[in-house]
Chains A and B, each alone.
Chain A
């Protein structure tokens, strides 16, 4: 049981390039989330999904898109990367409806945009 996994672990992009971050969970969780964490700061929600085929905007959605075609996968896309998107990106999931208080996090993807 791997829990929540993220691919890749590190990435360096040039301004204007695009990329997709992959999150996978093997716990059959309904809800999945993408957060960003800037140095010395808390987690800010980018987008989330409450089930296969559904997505919703979080606190800081601009510049990102997401898709949840399969229940176990949640993809985060950056269409045209900007230096302001340099951050650590965490994916998380939770099993229960109305129980988002307990989330399981992946190891993170460290993204640098130059």
Chain B
């Protein structure tokens, strides 16, 4: 089976940097995805790491360490609109389905 652990809630100040962690246990590992979901909205894809290291996309970066079964999403220059839930997810070995973590609710305060 596959399981993912994320903190349930993180609070940060506008303009700051925040890191959202994800640890996983999987029978096979093929990469780590991140999704953002605003209240009342649909999840939207942010990033995918198949290899170790940091991937940067604007203010958002995602990191993966396969040896530690660990990844994180880094949000820089936080804005109020970044207040949302963030989910990590892993594909199965056939690549045809995703298992999601429970999500981290990020609250950005002025």
Contact = CB atoms under 8 A, between A and B. Distances in A.
A43 B89 CA distance: 10
The size bracket of the interface on A is 20 to 34
B100 A43 contact: yes
B98 A45 contact: yes
Interface string B93-110: 011111111110100000
Interface residues of B, number: 24
B92 to A, nearest CB: 8
Interface stretch (B41-49, B52-60, B70-78): B41-49
B98 A100 contact: yes
Query: Chain A at the B interface: mostly helix, strand, loop or mixed?
Result: loop
A33 interface: yes
B43 A105 contact: yes
B87 interface: yes
Contacts of A45: 97-99
Interface of A: 31, 33, 40-45, 48, 50, 58-59, 90, 92, 97-108
